A = this chain, B = another copy of it.
């Protein structure tokens, strides 16, 4: 099976020229995202668990320009502010109640948010900071489609305060106009 994956990857650059050659009766474009009867483990500090299906997990998605993600949320669980540098995301609520939102670019920085019930849909335009959080009393599940097979993920404070190596603390202090102790504190967290 690993062999098939590699083969598909090599074939899949830009034009599926002879894509059928590499297909097998048991294709690899399927993948177990998760099973809500045995839900993903959300016992972490954020109370959420994302399960992505991108070209990193499924090489056959290459050149197809689409990927998917399922997220499980404990009651009160959140997905902290983040963005995808190469994809717009369209999300629907499969279970529960979610508060979701995104922030428009400068200079408005307007927060567009909405509480979604089961079956509602919302869209996060490419490259914009967005978040989700479970504001209902029960576990929630969302399913997202993304407009790239390789959307990328940037957790916003993580990229700034948790880079490896770190950005200089005095630079960050000046950037955010805070005391350098605050930066040290934040860098310790991320």
Which residues of A line the B interface, CB within 8 A?
3-4, 7-8, 10-11, 13-20, 23, 25-27, 29-37, 45-46, 53, 55-56, 58, 60-68, 70, 78, 80-81, 83-90, 92, 94, 101, 103-106, 108-112, 114, 116-123, 125-129, 131, 133, 143-150, 152-160, 162-167, 171-172, 174-178, 182, 185-186, 189-190
Contact partners of A53 in chain B: CB under 8 A: 90, 92, 121
Which of B4, B29, B92, B104 meets A20, CB within 8 Å?
B104
CA distance A148 to B127 in the complex (A): 13
Decide if B78 touches A90 in the complex (CB within 8 Å).
Answer: no
Contact partners of A32 in chain B: CB under 8 A: 117, 119-121
CA distance A164 to B55 in the complex (A): 27
How near does chain B come to A190, taking the closest CB pair, in angstroms? 8
Which of B35, B83, B106, B121 meets A33, CB within 8 Å?
B121
CA distance A69 to B58 in the complex (A): 22
Decide if B13 touches A105 in the complex (CB within 8 Å).
Answer: no
CA distance A133 to B27 in the complex (A): 18
| 7 pairs from A and B in contact (CB 8 Å cutoff) | A11-B104, A33-B120, A36-B118, A45-B177, A58-B123, A66-B66, A103-B159
Q: Counting chain B CB atoms within 10 Å of each CB, which of A30, A147, A162, A177 scores highest?
A: A30
